[in-house]
Amino acid sequence: MPHQFTTSYVKDSIDLFRYYKKLAERAMAQCSDEGLFATLDAESNSIAIIVKHMAGNMRSRWMDFLTSDGEKPDRNRDTEFEQPPRTRAELLEVWERGWKYLFDALTPLTDADLTRSVPIRTEPHSVMQAINRQVAHYSHHIGQIVFLAKHLTTKVTGKWDSLSVPRGQSKQFAADVAAGRKSQR
């Protein structure tokens, strides 16, 4: 996704969420089906569990975003860490459903909405604070997804297509950006 200059916080937030969504999708696409459900140890989460948790969080935070608490009373967070989706297709369906809540909530917003108040666990947040909170939360988990996908993929295949600047190619990447052949993001 090429970088676009904007002074709209809402637009930039949506672009940032789309970037992180795509980053995780590119990582998961390289990972085997088995890798999506593997854990590194008894205390670790699989990619599938992380996706299930993120989708549950997205539903809770973004459904009825401006009119209800961001922690929905019917959310059972603990179950998000149990029984992951069984297949890649189910996993991607859960993933897309979660992101749909987010984009459906953010797309109609304007920068004038940023000072509105929304509760999360009964604590008031400005819309901007609520968005920032979720950017941090999702980027944290997407980092976990990328790490796991890279680890589990290279362990099996020895190959990984870099999602950013490949090792040893920083100068070439910078030259490509300067020449307009690549985006910085």
Tens of pLDDT, residue by residue over 114-126, are: 999 999 999 999 9
Residues of the chain with pLDDT under 70: 1-3, 176, 182-185
pTM of the model: 0.89
Query: What CA–CA distances, in Å, run from 131 to 10, 22, 42, 115?
Result: 9, 18, 32, 12
pLDDT given at position 83: 94
Measured torsion, CA atoms of residues 112, 115, 116, 120, in degrees rounded to the nearest 10: 140
Q: What is the pLDDT of residue 180?
A: 73
pLDDT tens track for 24-35: 999 999 999 999
Give the domains, in start order, of the chain with CATH numbers: 9-178 (1.20.120.450)
pLDDT number for residue 183: 64
CA-based angle 60:109:130, to the nearest 5?
45
Task: Quote the pLDDT of residue 71.
Answer: 97
